[in-house]
Amino acid sequence: MYEKLDRSGGRVVGYQVRDELSEEDVEAMLQDIEETIHEEGSARVLVYMPTVPVPDLDALDEDIGFWLHHGDDLEKYAVVGDNRLLEWVTDLEDRVTDVDLEYFGAADLDDAWEWLREDETA
């Protein structure tokens, strides 16, 4: 299950993800990000995970396909949560993609929004 966060605006979009993440949920989120890219030219994304969601395998396939197709359109990607696995995966993805990925603890949610909005007019 996911919810688009109210602080989203312009090319900065944020989502809260929890529990189980279906293929339909992932498709809807990715379509929303795609619309942002179409309207704004690029996107900066925040994903807040108070708990680690369990995606189904088809959802993972959708996510990987999106990254392969739109990796150049994502400027920044903030992952927010309190889980060492999320932190480790974010660090690994940051090393293997051109997207600027950053992990923030749940208490640093406001800092993650600020980081996404840095140099927004550039």
Structural domain count, the chain: 1
Kindly state the average pLDDT of the residues 13-36. 89
pLDDT in tens, 40-97: 999 999 999 888 766 654 554 455 566 656 678 889 999 999 888 878 877 877 787 7
3-state SS, residue 75: strand
What is the C-alpha separation between 102 and 87, in angstroms, rounded?
Answer: 9
Tell me whether residue 122 is in a domain.
Answer: no
In one letter, which amino acid is 20? E
What CATH number did the domain enclosing 57 receive?
Answer: 3.30.750
> Which domain covers residue 23, as residue numbers?
2-117
Tell me whether residue 21 is in a domain.
Answer: yes
Task: Give CA separation, 8 vs 12, 22, 92, 94, 95, in Å.
Answer: 6, 22, 26, 23, 26
Positive or negative, the Cα torsion across 31, 64, 55, 106? negative
pTM: 0.85
Tell me whether residue 16 is in a domain.
Answer: yes
